[in-house]
Amino acid sequence: MAGARRGPNWLLVYAVAYMVFLYAPVVLLPLFAFNDATIVAFPLSGFTTKWFTVLWETEALHGAVRNSLIVAVSSALIATMLGASAARAMARYRFPAKKGIVGFIMLPLVLPEIIVAVALLVMLMQLGLSLSLWTVVAGHVLICTPFAIAILSSAFQGLDQSLEEASLDLGESRWGTFRRVTLPLVMPGVVSSLLITFTISLDEFIIAFFLTGTDVTLPVYIWSQLRFPSKLPSIMALGAILLALSVLLLVLAEWFRRRAAARQGKDATAAGGLL
Amino acid sequence: MALKLSSQERQGLTLISPTLLYALVMLAAPLLMVATFSFWTQNYLEIDRTLTLDNYRAAWGEPIYQVLLARSLRISVIVTVATVLLAFPVAYFLSFHVKKRKALWLFLITVPFWTSYLLRVFLWKVILGYNGVLNSALLNLGLIDEPLTFILYNANAVVLTLAHAWAPFAILPIFVALEKIDRSLLEAAEDLGDGPVRRFFRVTLPLAMPGVVAATLIVLIPTVGDFITPKLVGGTDGLMIANMIQIQFGKANNAPLGAALAVTSMLTVAAISLIVFLAGRRLGGRVKP
C-alpha cells in the first residue's frame, strides 16, 4: 500500500494514530450500550441487553423516532427534488448569473447552523406561524439541498446528452424521454442523495432545537435526556442503534453512487460525491 | 434593462427557479428579517419597531458580549489551525502514499462523522472526565497519580472535541486539492535540484493552498456558531457567543439583542473568512497549475 522508501513510514503510523483518534468516541457506544452498569464509566462490569429493553418500553422515545422519521423522509424527498432540478439546470444549461445563483443556493453549507436557525425562527415569529414538525422540515430542506445538489450534479454531469437527443429523435416526448432515459440513468444518484439527506436530517440538532414545537425530534429528545445520569446507558444503546443504521445507509448510498458511475462508464473510485 | 434570453437560458432559469425561490424565501428573507429585527427592541412580549442602535451598543459595548465573542473567535481559530494542521498529513498520506484502497480510507474517515453529533460530543465527556476513560487508563498504567482535571470543562476540551468533530471536513478538501496536483511538476522540481522539503514548500504546498483555504473556512465558520460542544464540555470558561444567542432567544426573551449578536458574529466571521481567502490566494498564487 504505502511506499516504504526510507525507513518506517511515519505517515502511515500517523494516519493510523489519527484513525484511532477519530474512532475513539465511536467505539465506546457499543461498549456502554451492552454494559451492565448504571454509570457510564470504566471499568466495564458485564454484558446486558437490558438497555435495549428500556428503549423498547420508553413511549416518549417512540414519539420522537416517529417525528424524526416524518421530518427526515419529508426533508429528503423535498431536498432531493429541489436538488435534482438545480443540478440538472447547472449541468445542462447556461444562463445569466449562474455562478451567483448557484453560490447563493449552496450558501447554507458555509453558514453557521445557529444563524440559519435563528433567522428562520425570527421569520416564523414575525409571520405569527406556530412551530411544528413542518417548520423543522423547512429548515432541514434548506441545509440538505446543497448536499443533494453536490451529489446529483455529478450524476447529471456524467449524463450523455446524445442519449436524450436520440430518444427525442426517435419520437419520445420530453416527458417520456425524462422518464425512460434520463431518470433511469441518474436513479442511483437520486437514491444516494435521498439516503444522505435523510441521514443529515435525522441527525440534525441545532435547527430542530430552535424550530421544534411540542413534538420533538430524536436529537432534541436525546439532548433532553443527557441531563439525567440515570438515562445515559439507554441513550448509549440508542446511539449504538443509530450508529449501525447510519453506517448501513452510508454503505447503501456509496453502493448506489458507484453503480451510477459504473453505468455511465466512469471511474467509481474518484472522491466525488460527498463534497 | 432589456433582457433578451435565448431558449437555452430560459429553460435553465426555469429549471433552477424552484430551488432558487426556496432559498430566497427561506434564507434571504429570514436573513434580512434578522437584520431588521436587530434594530428593534423587545419589552417582554411587546416588540417595539422603532429603529435603534441600542442592541448593537450592547452587543459591541458590554464586556460580557465582547468577552464571549472574543473567546468564540479565539477558540474557533485555534480549533481551525489544529484541525487543518492535524488533517494535512492524513490527506497527504491518502493522496501520495495510498495506492489501492483510497475509497476505503475515505469511507472510514467519514463514518464517525455520521454518528449522532450530540452523542459524539457527549462521549468525549466520558473519555475526558474525572473518572473518564483517559484518566483511568493513565492511572492504571501508573503514568499519573491522580486524575488530570485540566482536560475537561474548559477551552481545551472544546478545542479537542471540535477538532474531532470537523476532521473529515478538513481532510476531504485538502485531499481533493492534492489529488489535482500534476505529479510531473514534482518530478520537475526534483530534477531541478529541489530536496523533498524544498519541493514540498515550493510546489506541493502552494498548489494545495486552495484545499487548505477551503478546509480552513469550512471548519472556521460553523465552529463559531456551535453551542452544543461548549455547553457539554466547556464548563463556564468555555461558553461561546452562540450560547448567548441561544439564551437571548430562549430564557432571556430578548430576541432583538440575540439577533444583533447573531448579525455581529456573522459579520465578524465573514470578515475573517475574506482575510483567509485573500491570504490563501496570495500564498498559493506563485505557482500556476
Query: Omega into A233 within 30° of 0, i.e. cis?
Result: no
Domain limits for position B96: 52-284
Cell of B88: 494535512
Nearest CA among A120, A124, A115, A118 for reference residue A141: A120
Give the B window 52-81 contacts with A, CB below 8 Å.
Answer: none
Please count the helices (runs of H) and the strands (runs of E) in chain B: 15, 2
Residue B150 counted as domain residue: yes
How many beta-carbon contacts under 8 Å exist across A and B? 252
Count of structural domains within chain B: 1
Q: CA B204 to CA B186: how far, in whole Å?
A: 7
Q: B224 CB near a chain A CB, below 8 Å?
A: yes
Residue A33 counted as domain residue: no
Residue contact A40–B30, C-beta within 8 A: no
| Angle, alpha carbons B281-B283-B284 (nearest 5°) | 65
| Angle, alpha carbons B99-A188-A218 (nearest 5°) | 95
Nearest CA among A30, A73, A66, A65 for reference residue A51: A30
Residue B200 counted as domain residue: yes
Residue B101, pLDDT > 90, answer no
| Angle, alpha carbons B270-B274-B280 (nearest 5°) | 145
Residue B21, pLDDT > 90, answer yes
Q: A146 CB near a chain B CB, below 8 Å?
A: no
Q: B104 CB near a chain A CB, below 8 Å?
A: no
Q: B126 CB near a chain A CB, below 8 Å?
A: yes
Q: B233 CB near a chain A CB, below 8 Å?
A: no
Q: CA A85 to CA A88: how far, in whole Å?
A: 5
Predicted pLDDT of residue A264: 64
Lowest mean pLDDT among A228-232, A256-260, B209-213: A256-260
Lowest mean pLDDT among A103-107, A112-116, B176-180, B223-227: B223-227
Residue A31 counted as domain residue: no
Residue contact A9–B99, C-beta within 8 A: no
Q: B267 CB near a chain A CB, below 8 Å?
A: no
Q: Report yes or no: A203 and B116 within 8 Å, Cβ to Cβ.
A: yes
Phi/psi at B234 (nearest 5 deg)?
-85, -15
Nearest CA among A145, A18, A17 for reference residue A84: A145
Q: Which residues on A lie below 8 Å from B30 (Cβ)?
A: 116, 119-120, 122-123
Q: Which residues on B lie below 8 Å from A2 (Cβ)?
A: 93, 97-99
Count of structural domains within chain A: 1
Q: Model confidence over B142-194: pLDDT tens digits?
A: 788 877 777 778 788 888 898 898 888 899 889 988 888 888 888 888 888 78
**CATH number for the domain including A210?**
1.10.3720.10
Residue A213 counted as domain residue: yes
Residue contact A101–B20, C-beta within 8 A: yes
Q: Which residues on A lie below 8 Å from B68 (Cβ)?
A: none
Length in residues, chain B: 289
Residue B29 counted as domain residue: no
Residues in CB range of B27: below 8 A, 6 or more apart: A104, A107, A108, A116, A119, A142
Give the B window 140-169 contacts with A, CB below 8 Å.
Answer: 164, 167, 169
Predicted pLDDT of residue A77: 97
Residue contact A93–B8, C-beta within 8 A: yes
Predicted pLDDT of residue A256: 77
Provide the 8-state DSSP code for B207: H
Cell of B14: 426555469
Q: A193 CB near a chain B CB, below 8 Å?
A: no
Residue B15 counted as domain residue: no
Predicted pLDDT of residue A8: 66
Q: CA B58 to CA B68: how far, in whole Å?
A: 13
Nearest to A1 among B13, B99, B224 (CB): B99
Q: How far is A221 from chain B (nearest CA, A)?
A: 11
Q: A91 CB near a chain B CB, below 8 Å?
A: no
Q: Which of A185-189, B21-25, B181-185, B197-201 ranks highest by mean pLDDT?
A: B21-25
Q: Tell me the average pLDDT across A119-138.
A: 88
Residue B2 counted as domain residue: no
Q: Report yes or no: A52 and A233 within 8 Å, Cβ to Cβ.
A: no
Residue contact B15–A22, C-beta within 8 A: no
Length in residues, chain A: 275
Q: CA A50 to CA A56: how far, in whole Å?
A: 10
Burial class (CB in 10 A: 0-12, 13-18, 19+), B183: exposed
Residue B28 counted as domain residue: no
Residue A150 counted as domain residue: yes
Q: How far apart are the first and last CA of chain A?
A: 25
Residue A72, pLDDT > 90, answer yes
Nearest CA in chain A to B115: A243
Q: CA B17 to CA A96: how far, in whole Å?
A: 12
Q: A127 CB near a chain B CB, below 8 Å?
A: no
Residue A15 counted as domain residue: no
Phi/psi at B47 (nearest 5 deg)?
-100, 125
SS (H, E, C) chain A: CCCCCCCCCHHHHHHHHHHHHHHHHHHHHHHHHCECCCCCCCCCCCECCHHHHHHHHCHHHHHHHHHHHHHHHHHHHHHHHHHHHHHHHHHHCCCCCHHHHHHHHHHHHCCCHHHHHHHHHHHHHHHCCCCCHHHHHHHHHHHHHHHHHHHHHHHHHCCCHHHHHHHHHCCCCHHHHHHHHHHHHHHHHHHHHHHHHHHHHHHCCHHHHHHCCCCCCHHHHHHHHCCCHHHHHHHHHHHHHHHHHHHHHHHHHHHHHHHHHHHCCCCCCCCCCCC
Provide the 8-state DSSP code for B96: H
**CATH number for the domain including B88?**
1.10.3720.10
Residues in CB range of B9: below 8 A, 6 or more apart: A93, A94, A95, A96
Nearest CA in chain A to B32: A119
Q: Which residues on B lie below 8 Å from A28 (Cβ)?
A: 123, 126-127, 133
Residue contact A9–B22, C-beta within 8 A: no
Mean pLDDT of chain A: 83
The amino acid present at A141, given as its one-letter code, is V
Q: Tell me the average pLDDT across B110-118.
A: 82
Q: Model confidence over B230-268: pLDDT tens digits?
A: 888 887 777 788 888 888 887 777 888 888 999 998 888
Q: Tell me the average pLDDT across A226-231.
A: 81
Residue contact A1–B97, C-beta within 8 A: yes
Sign of the alpha-carbon dihedral angle for A227, A231, A236, A241: negative
Residues in CB range of A54: below 8 A, 6 or more apart: A233, A234, A237
| Angle, alpha carbons B85-B86-B91 (nearest 5°) | 95
Residue B213 counted as domain residue: yes
Nearest CA among A274, A224, A237 for reference residue A254: A274
Q: Model confidence over A136-158: pLDDT tens digits?
A: 999 999 999 999 998 888 888 87
Is the reported ipTM for this assembly greater than 0.85? no
Q: Report yes or no: A117 and B26 within 8 Å, Cβ to Cβ.
A: no
Q: How far is A189 from chain B (nearest CA, A)?
A: 17
Q: Which of A264-268, B47-51, B135-139, B235-239 ranks highest by mean pLDDT?
A: B135-139
Lowest mean pLDDT among A71-75, A80-84, B115-119: B115-119
Residue B2, pLDDT > 70, answer no
Residue A103 counted as domain residue: yes
Report in angstroms the alpha-carbon separations of A237 from A207, B48, B53, B129, B145: 24, 48, 50, 20, 33
Instruction: Give me the helix-helix angle, A183-203 and A59-92, nearest 10°.
Output: 140
Residue B184 counted as domain residue: yes
Q: A82 CB near a chain B CB, below 8 Å?
A: yes
Domain limits for position A150: 68-263
Nearest CA in chain B to A123: B30
Where does the pLDDT of residue A4 fall: very low under 50, low under 70, confident under 90, or very high at 90 and above? very low
Q: Which residues on B lie below 8 Å from A83 (Cβ)?
A: 19
Q: What is the largest CA-CA distance in chain B?
A: 79
